[in-house]
């Protein structure tokens, strides 16, 4: 895990850093997005291989927590609708009207299973419809020990795709086994269903399937979940780009034995106004903590002289350092590493590759920060256009369409603001994009961009395209 994820931390980290600097204003940004997307795809493949290894070693487990079920499902539906739309497929969502508001599940693993089943349905369907149905039984009283009610929820995914023959059905849940034509088999490594079967097994159920050649496929499973009375309070960063924070300058001490990992964090934090000190081993981390008294520590686990765990324990034993926030970031993501980090005294665990938004959320939480955001695009009413507005360049429109289809609302806003800053005649269009992205109106964004692309096609002979 460590050897595979560490190089990706540098690749994905610098892709995020450079994307912030370009601001979505050039073809370079499109290339950086390709690097980032490709890195994420590779990371997903690595995670699948690691999941299989953990399953075979019986080292995988579930971590249930209260989840807003309708919102959780809607986020999956929104993503899958975009993917289905990109293939000109219909996506039908049929939730039970009696779904409980809050349930206790492992959101990461349930999402992983549903995305795999829905993704396969889209991948193996060329025309027609994907139907995602959720039904549930009325809540029933729980055991006398806790009186917590529970309900049985059935998840069903049906498609009108190519279907499978009876001899193919037993093979689809085997690791590295793939069915379908050669083009479809190239889109994965054949681990998703094998992992999903094991995860659903940990949930106390099993995946069922019905299929016939040319008649589509239907996958379903049921899970018995506790119903929670307390609603879940959302805690997310606003969509606007963060450019700094209010108040006095904060000092962050970063410890990592890999120079590329230290520099990734340095380049993420310094532009936001943080003072950053870098050290490369656990002993230096302890010494610099006592000398500099930083506001927060970010440390790797595997380091020379002293490991991250040993350094954390040593720091916590020093008077006056019992409460300094410590975030562990590691390419080793086994549950035991996270548990040991907590026991040693860490406040949070962040897996590598580091995701900038996750890092900023943790910093805001543990340093009680108030972020400063990049100014929004000037309102449409204040924009003066001295000539009829032409559609934006086609390469930018194609980029926006791709972002909308994948639900990347943050980057859509960044692209829109850069477009308006570069050419004021596009400010009204950019402002509409920003407003729609803030409300996650992906379908309206796609419609708006497609309208502009039609206008672009009509005006192409009379204009010169932007070349970056």
pLDDT in tens, 400-435: 888 887 777 878 887 887 777 677 667 778 878 887
CATH number of domain containing 198: 3.30.565.10
Residue of 312, 259, 255, 258 lying closest to 279 (CA atoms):
255
Count of CB atoms situated within 10 Å of the CB of 344: 20
Return the beta strands (E) in 48-128 as ranges: 65-68, 90-95, 102-105
Handedness of CA 245, 247, 249, 255 (dihedral sign): negative
What phi and psi, each to the nearest 5 degrees, are found at residue 128? 115, -135
Last residue of a domain, one of 204, 226, 248: 226
Residues 221 and 73 in one domain: yes
Same domain for 320 and 410, yes or no, is: no
Per-residue pLDDT, 386:
34
Q: Among 165, 191, 226, which residue terminates a domain?
A: 226
Residue-wise pLDDT for 6-56, tens only, equals: 777 778 887 777 777 665 556 676 677 777 777 776 776 677 667 666 666
Partner residues linked to 220 by β-bridges: 156, 208
CB count within 10 Å of CB 378 equals: 16
Asked whether residue 85 falls in the same domain as residue 216, the answer is yes
**Domain assignment present for 273:** yes
The residue among 347, 372, 397 that closes a domain is: 372
Residue 28 burial by Cβ neighbours in a 10 Å radius (0-12, 13-18, 19+):
middle
CA dihedral 178, 179, 184, 187 (to 10 degrees): -10
Is 468 a domain residue?
A: no
Question: Is the same domain home to 355 and 386?
Answer: no
Mean pLDDT of the chain: 80
| 156 domain residue, yes or no | yes
- 118 and 258, same domain (yes or no): no
The answer to whether residue 196 sits within a structural domain is: yes
- Angle 106-110-115 (CA atoms, 0-180°, nearest 5)? 150
Question: Which long-range contacts link 262-271 to residues 24+ away (Cβ below 8 Å)?
Answer: 264/9, 264/10, 264/13, 264/14, 264/17, 264/354, 265/13, 265/298, 265/329, 265/354, 265/359, 267/13, 267/14, 267/17, 268/13, 268/16, 268/17, 268/354, 268/356, 268/359, 271/20
CB contact burial 437-454 (16+ within 10 A = b; e otherwise): beeebbebbbebbeebbe
Residues of the chain where predicted confidence (pLDDT) is lower than 70: 1-4, 21-27, 29-30, 41, 44-45, 48-49, 51-59, 142-147, 175-190, 230-240, 332-335, 375-390, 421, 424-425, 456-468
Q: Which residue has the tokens 């993917």?
A: 83
467 falls within a domain: no
Tell me, yes or no, whether 59 lies in a domain: no
Whether residues 346 and 391 share a domain: the answer is no
At residue 377, the pLDDT reads 42
CA–CA separation, 135 and 156 (whole Å): 9
State whether 166 and 120 are in the same domain.
yes
71 and 210 fall within a common domain: yes
- Whether 60 maps to a domain, the answer reads no
Q: 56: which residues sit within 8 A by CB, 6+ positions away?
A: none
Closest CA to 411 of 421, 400, 419, 422: 400
Q: Are residues 251 and 285 in the same domain?
A: yes
What pLDDT sits at residue 39? 75
pLDDT of residue 466: 36
pLDDT score for 183: 46
Q: In terms of domains, do 334 and 272 share one?
A: yes
- Within 10 Å of residue 69's Cβ, how many Cβ atoms? 25
> How many structural domains is the chain composed of?
3
- Which residue range(s) make up the domain with 184? 65-226
How many DSSP H helices and E strands does the chain contain? 15, 14
Element holding 43 (H helix, E strand): helix 27-56
Q: Do 317 and 343 belong to one domain?
A: yes
Residue 25 lies in a domain: yes
Statement: the pTM of the whole predicted model exceeds 0.75? no
Residues 76 and 220 in one domain: yes
Q: Which residue has the tokens 């909308």?
A: 404
Q: Determine the pLDDT at residue 208.
A: 93
- How far are the Cα atoms of 52, 163, 343, 427 from residue 120, in angstroms, in the given order? 18, 11, 40, 40
- pLDDT tens figures, 367-411: 998 888 876 444 333 333 333 356 788 888 888 888 887 777 878
């Amino acid at each position: 895990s460590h050897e595979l994820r560490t190089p990706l931390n540098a690749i994905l980290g610098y892709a995020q850093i450079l994307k912030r600097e370009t601001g979505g204003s050039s073809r370079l940004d499109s290339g950086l997005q390709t690097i980032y997307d490709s890195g994420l795809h590779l990371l997903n493949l690595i995670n699948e291989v690691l999941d299989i290894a953990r399953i075979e070693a019986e080292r995988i487990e579930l971590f249930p927590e209260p989840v807003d079920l309708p919102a959780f499902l809607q986020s999956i539906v929104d993503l899958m609708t975009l993917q289905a739309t990109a293939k000109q497929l219909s996506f039908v969502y049929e939730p039970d009207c009696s779904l409980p508001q809050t349930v206790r599940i492992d959101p990461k693993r349930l999402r992983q299973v549903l995305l795999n089943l829905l993704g396969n349905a889209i991948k193996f369907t060329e025309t027609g419809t994907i139907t995602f149905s959720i039904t549930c039984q009325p809540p029933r009283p729980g055991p006398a020990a806790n009186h917590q009610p529970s309900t049985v929820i059935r998840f069903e995914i049906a498609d009108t795709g190519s279907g499978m023959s009876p001899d193919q059905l037993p093979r689809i849940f085997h690791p590295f086994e793939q069915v379908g034509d050669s083009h479809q088999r190239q889109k994965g490594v054949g681990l998703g269903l094998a992992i999903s079967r094991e995860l659903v097994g940990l949930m106390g159920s099993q995946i069922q399937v019905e299929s016939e050649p040319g008649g589509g496929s239907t996958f379903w499973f049921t899970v018995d979940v506790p119903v929670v009375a307390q609603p879940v309070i959302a805690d997310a960063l606003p969509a606007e780009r963060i450019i700094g924070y209010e108040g006095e300058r904060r000092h962050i001490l970063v410890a990592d034995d890999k120079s590329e990992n230290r520099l990734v964090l340095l380049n993420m934090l310094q532009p936001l106004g943080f003072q950053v000190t870098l050290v490369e081993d656990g002993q230096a981390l302890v010494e610099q903590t006592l000398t500099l008294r930083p506001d927060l520590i970010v440390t790797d686990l595997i380091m020379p002289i002293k490991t991250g765990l040993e350094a954390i324990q040593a720091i916590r034993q020093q008077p006056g350092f019992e409460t300094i926030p410590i975030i562990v970031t590691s390419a080793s993501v086994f549950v035991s590493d996270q548990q040991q980090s907590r026991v040693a005294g860490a406040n949070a665990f962040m897996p590598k590759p580091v995701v900038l938004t996750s890092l900023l959320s943790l910093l805001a939480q543990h340093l009680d920060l108030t972020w400063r955001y990049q100014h929004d695009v000037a309102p449409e009413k204040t924009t003066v256009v001295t000539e009829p507005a032409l559609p934006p360049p086609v390469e930018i429109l194609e980029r926006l369409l791709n972002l909308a289809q994948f639900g990347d609302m943050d980057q859509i806003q960044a692209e829109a603001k850069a477009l308006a800053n570069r050419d004021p005649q596009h400010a009204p269009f950019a402002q509409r994009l920003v407003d729609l992205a803030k409300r996650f109106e992906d379908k309206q964004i796609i419609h708006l961009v497609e309208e502009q692309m039609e206008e672009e096609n009509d005006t192409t002979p009379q204009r010169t395209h932007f070349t970056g």
